[in-house]
């Protein structure tokens, strides 16, 4: 799948098949995350891949809107060192992971981390050192819903030329 097709076909997927994702595929996806754009080349990110069903259930139960994490074969937690551009850098890394997964035929869903009341607790559960912020949970897995329809605002409603 070429890059433009990946961008056009990425969807938030919340239903997963009970099919494991190989370690090699997980590493490939996370490798794409680490290659994201980063301010001042700080690369503040750290990634935790969680395949253990009990741990995914614990994390899913903590979230408000991520209960489906328990049913995904993989959850990737993106943490960033608390730095000036951690939000931008962590968001870029998260998006790269979403797109890489879609290119490999997997579904994903970005679940909020930063500024959520559970963020600190997740860091403690996962043994993350002080000074890091939870940017996102990303559920990852194979799904029959990859080509689900998603309504987006048309280009002519969001594109402005020269001024708003």
CATH architecture of 3-158: 3-Layer(aba) Sandwich (3.40)
User: Residue 55 pLDDT > 90, yes or no?
Assistant: yes
Cα–Cα distance for residue pair 52/9, rounded to 1 Å: 28
Domain boundaries of the chain, sorted by first residue: 3-158
Q: Cα-atom radius of gyration of the chain, to the nearest Å?
A: 16
Burial letters for 58-92: b for 16+ Cβ neighbours within 10 Å, e otherwise? Answer: bbbebbeebebbbbbbbbbbbbbbebeebeebbbb
Provide the β-strand partners of residue 46. Answer: 79
Q: Measure the CA–CA gap between 47 and 66, rounded to whole angstroms.
A: 18
**Nearby residues of 106 by Cβ (< 8 Å), 6 or more positions away:** 21, 25, 29, 140, 141, 142, 143
The reported pLDDT for the residue numbered 32 is 98
Tell me: the pLDDT tens digits for 89-137?
999 999 999 999 999 999 999 999 999 999 999 999 999 999 999 999 9
Cα separation, 36 vs 56, in Å, equals 25
Interior CA angle at 77 toward 74 and 80, to 5°? 160
| Whether the model pTM is above 0.85 | yes
Q: At what angle do helices 86-103 and 23-34 cross, to 10 degrees?
A: 140
Portion of the chain with pLDDT greater than 70, in percent: 100
Question: Across the strands, what pairs with 141?
Answer: 107
> In the chain, helix, strand, coil percent, each to 5?
40, 20, 40
């Amino acid at each position: 799948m070429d890059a433009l097709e990946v961008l056009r076909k990425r969807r938030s997927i919340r239903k997963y098949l009970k099919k494991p994702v190989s370690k090699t595929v997980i590493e490939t996806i996370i490798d794409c995350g680490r290659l994201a754009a980063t301010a001042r080349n700080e690369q503040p990110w750290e990634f935790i891949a969680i395949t253990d069903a009990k741990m995914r259930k614990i994390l899913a139960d903590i979230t408000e809107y991520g209960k489906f994490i328990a049913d995904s074969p993989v959850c990737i937690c993106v943490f960033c060192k608390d730095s000036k551009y951690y939000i931008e850098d962590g968001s870029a890394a998260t998006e790269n992971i979403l797109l890489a997964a879609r290119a490999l035929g997997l579904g994903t869903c970005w679940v909020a981390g930063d500024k959520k009341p559970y963020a600190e607790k997740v860091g403690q559960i996962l043994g993350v050192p002080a000074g890091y912020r939870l940017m996102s949970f990303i559920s990852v897995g194979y799904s029959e819903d990859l080509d689900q329809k998603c309504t987006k605002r048309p280009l002519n409603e969001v594109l402005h030329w020269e001024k708003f």
